[in-house]
Every structure is written in structure tokens, then in C-alpha cells.
Chains A and B, each alone.
Chain A
Amino acid sequence: MNSLKDAGHLFRLAAVFLAGIVLFLLARGFLVPKSFGQYGHYRGNALGELAARPVHYAGHQTCETCHTDVLEKKTAGRHAHVNCEACHGPQAKHADDPASETPTKLDTAVLCARCHEANAAKPRAFPQVATAEHSTGLPCDTCHQPHSPAIVAEAKK
């Protein structure tokens, strides 16, 4: 009994440690988000937050629901597999509110050259021109229709 009486300081020390551990667990319980560890060593809700960001490119399926005339023209020509927003840029706002958000008219002299300007690194089979010689800076839609670029209609006339 005497020995235990002398060990009083040890119990006090243990009590301090116990209090510390309880405090740590309490603080951890409050500070670590509930979804942490849901899928792994990270906050599971981060997935939902990343997925909730707004979309800027509407996707060609969205464009095609309204612009069926352009789709028809496009699928008949060489640009069949070029998606609308590849040239027209992000149009999600226009898709949400077609009346007030209208896409700007594109400058074909700049736009077409981005893909079709001759460059040694481009695949051989890809149609390329040196715009300086080919069109001398004229906008490409002077002769070509961007949605179906081959000049067939002209030849038929």
C-alpha cells in the first residue's frame, strides 16, 4: 500500500497523457473532414467538387440538336469529323441561351491557316497550303465553304 502511495505522481502523469490523447482525438474528429478516407487517403468530396465545375465546351452533340442544316452539309464534306467547337470555340453559353449569346463571325484567313498552313512536321497526307502563295492573305471563304471545303459546286456551274 505504501508503494502505491509513493507512485501518486505516476498516476498524475498518466492522467495528463490521457487528457492529451482525448484532446487530440476530439480535435482530430472535428478537423478531419467526414469524407476523408472514403475512397483512400484523401477527401472523398473533392471528387464531387471537381466534377461540379462548369462546362465551357458544349460538345458537338449539343450543337447538332439545333444546327441540323450545318450537320448535313458537314457530314457530306471533308470536314465531317471536325467537331463544331474545334473552329467555333467554346459555345456552352450560347447553347444555354441561344438568343442573347451569339457566336462571333470567324476570320477564315486566320482560322483555316491554323490547321492548313504548310509545315514540314505535319503528316504528308494532310492537305496543306502556303497561304502567302495560295490566297495572298484573302479570307479562305472567298472560294471555300468551311463546312464543306471542296470546291465542287463551282466546277459544276
Chain B
Amino acid sequence: MNLTRRHLLLLLPAAGVAWKYVLAGTPEAAPNYKLSEHWWSMLIDLPKCIGCGNCVRACQQENDVPDGYFRTWIERYHVNDYDIENPVVDSPDGGKMGFPPAKDGSGKNFFVPKLCNHCADSPCTQVCPVGATFISPDGVVLVDKTYCLGCRYCVQACPYGCRFINPKTDTAEKCTLCYHRITKGLTTACCESCPTGARQLADLKNPNDPIHEFLKTHSVQVLKPSMATHAKVYYNGMDGSVR
């Protein structure tokens, strides 16, 4: 077959499409950041939490979370001495603007900040029908919003209620552990803005991380261990009534 100019012109758009496809395949990983060298988690030191709401506001500003939705929030527990199995929990606007004075000063009152537990065996990623949510090689549960259908399977699968459907994009959204920050060597927005150090980002694969010493010397729990999710948000000094 003689290759004429006309043939070449016909081939051009096809070649263009093919080249774009090749470019799309090049990974865009952050420089100097090795996925295999990190395993992210968070430590929450409950006796230090003052319920100021800084973390909730910071998360909202850093990640453009719509009003009324929360990637992290603070709960206030009120536990009566005679009924420790049934705590009264409130979280006005996610604790974003702090908390009004406790109605009942008796018993025990304390704050519990919550966020995605970045489970090593997460139920939410297992139910996704299209591969839009996943555990990254560095241990962060993430959502690819260009792939998400908004089917809500993951929202109901999360035992901690950490996911929601963003009304603007109609896709599932959750805490990314500030993936855009931790890959650049920064801490998360909530940890950066926590005034008492109640929240601390931790890298379990980094032998010099203070988390190792902390875990060795403190009684630390995770939320709902019975769910076998292998949650990686560790709570220090957590009361048994916390759900």
C-alpha cells in the first residue's frame, strides 16, 4: 500500500489520541516521597482535648468541606455514675464553634474528637463496586472522586460514620489525612491547629516517630475493636463508654 499524504492526515487524530493516552499513564507521585516508607496513623490524647473546635474548623478550611458536613468532628460525652453504659452524647455543629456549658455538671464530662480511622482492613473500601476508594500503599483510605459513582455503599459500610456524600460533587468524601500535606512533609491541618497537642499525626514505619515510645508506655485503644477493622487512630485515656 502506498502511504499518501491523505492517509497520513487520517492517521493524525488517532496518533493524537494514542499519545494523550500514553501521557495519562505517567505517574504523578510527589517527588522525594516514597509510598513504601510510610504507614500513617493518628494518636488522640483524650485527656488533652479541650473541645475548642479548632480541628473541625481547620479541616473545613483546608479541605473545603461544605457546611453541615464533617470529615472530623468532636463529641462531648456525659456519663452518669449510675449509668456508665448509656452516655449522653452531643456535638452541636460538629463542635465547630466549641460547646455550650454542660447541662449536667455531675458525673463525668469529656470530649472525643473523631475522624476516619484509616483502618488497615477497612469495610468501606471492600464494598466499592468500581474501585473508587482504596487503601493507599502508605496506609491512608482515600477516594478517587473521578471514579466515584455516588452509590453510597461505602457511607453505610463505615462503622464509624466517617463518610458522607458531598452535595456539590455528589461523590463520597472523607478525611484524606491531609494527603496533600503529609506527602509534602507537613502535618495534617487538624494537628497543626490543635492548641494542646491532643491530636498527633504518626508514621508507624518511621522508627524515630515518638508514637512508638507512646504506644509502649500508655494504655491505648481504638474505636470498635470488635469490628476487626484494624483502625489506626489510637485513643489514649479513652473511657469505656465511648462508642
Contact = CB atoms under 8 A, between A and B. Distances in A.
Interface of A: 30, 33-36, 38-57, 59-60, 81-83, 85-87, 89-90, 114-115, 117-123, 126
Given A42-B147, A115-B52, A123-B47, A60 B180 contact: no
Contacts of B47: 123
Given A50-B179, A56-B61, A121 B110 contact: yes
Given A39-B137, A47-B136, A55-B181, A89 B53 contact: no
B24 A33 contact: yes
User: What 3 A-B pairs have minimum CB-CB distances, sorted nearest first?
Assistant: A34-B25, A48-B28, A46-B144
B4 interface: no
A54 to B, nearest CB: 7
B218 to A, nearest CB: 16
Interface in B91-109: 97-99, 101-102, 105, 109
A38 B134 CA distance: 12
A110 B48 CA distance: 21
Given A34-B21, A42-B147, A55-B184, A121 B51 contact: yes
A36 B33 CA distance: 20
Interface in B1-48: 21-22, 24-25, 27-30, 33, 35, 47-48
Given A38-B27, A121-B109, A54 B144 contact: no
Contacts of A114: 52-54, 97-98
A17 to B, nearest CB: 27
